[in-house]
Amino acid sequence: MIVAAQQALYGWHLALGKVEYSKVHEWQHGLVSMRANGFARDTIITVEHPPVVTVGKDGHSENFENLEMKPIMVERGGDVTYHGPGQLVVYFIFNLTRRGRDIHKFMSDIQDGIIMTLASHGIKARKDKELTGVWVGDKKIASVGVAVKKWITFHGVAFNLSTEMSDFNSINPCGLESGIMTSVEKLTGEKPDMNEWSAELTKNYNSIFETSFEPIDLESIAEDVESQAGGYGV
């Protein structure tokens, strides 16, 4: 008897380099709409942002009252966070209907990818029972915040590689003291290569999500993404 092999899952990986937050936020909306209508595959976006502070739907003003720049209010879960140079940001445009509609597992899988990547560099990281994110000892090295609309996910994780820790000083990241944050560079004394860590993390997500996330050029889908941006009611 011949048993049919399980169909392999394929996805997209957009490695964007350094792009301003608002532009990528707009592109996420376009991809969410495309994914909901079957015109895009599950997509991982890896990107580095110029300095910006975002506030999720659970944000409290006292956690960014000392902030000089104007924060961007967004629809992800969580409180206030900072994005900037040296931080690897990963966004997930996934259709969870194909993945069991289990948001808690999805969040856990996101964190596991960070933990696996750190472990390969000799850094033992963990998840916390009460607080989201990825932790090394009592320090937080990655923040997680997602949004889900009609079982399509967006937003994701901010992973501190060589982020300047003083950039967190004007906020209480995720409602915690700014001193709680750490980075790979602070832990190891060496500056990680953004491209190498991005590739390694994506490879780990290939395994975790049992999906081959293939590189795709944004230019090849840019017109579709732009036309769908903002059209999903997010």
Q: What is the pLDDT of residues 121-149, one digit of tens each?
A: 999 999 998 888 999 999 999 999 999 99
At the topology level of CATH, where does 9-220 sit?
BirA Bifunctional Protein; domain 2 (3.30.930)
* Residues linked to residue 14 through DSSP beta bridges, in sequence order: 45
| CB atoms closer than 10 angstroms to residue 67 | 15
Query: Among all residues, which ones are annotated catalytic?
Result: 174
> pLDDT tens for residues 44-86?
999 999 999 898 887 778 777 777 888 888 888 887 888 999 9
Element (H, E) at 33: helix 21-36
Grouping H, G, I as helix, E, B as strand and the rest as coil, residue 23 is helix
Cβ-Cβ contacts under 8 Å for 203 (sequence gap 6 or more): none
What is the per-residue pLDDT for 212?
96
Left if phi > 0, otherwise alpha if psi is -120 to 50, otherwise beta: which for 100? left
Q: Give the rounded percent of residues in the chain with a pLDDT score beyond 90.
A: 67
User: What's the pLDDT at 58?
Assistant: 79
Mean pLDDT to the nearest integer, 161-184: 83
Q: Is 70 left (phi over 0), alpha (psi -120 to 50) or beta?
A: beta
| pLDDT mean across residues, the chain | 89
Q: Which residue has the higher pLDDT, 141 or 218?
A: 141
Q: Is the pTM of this model over 0.85?
A: yes
Q: Where are the domains of the chain?
A: 9-220
The percent of the chain in helix, strand and coil, each rounded to the nearest 5, is 35, 25, 40
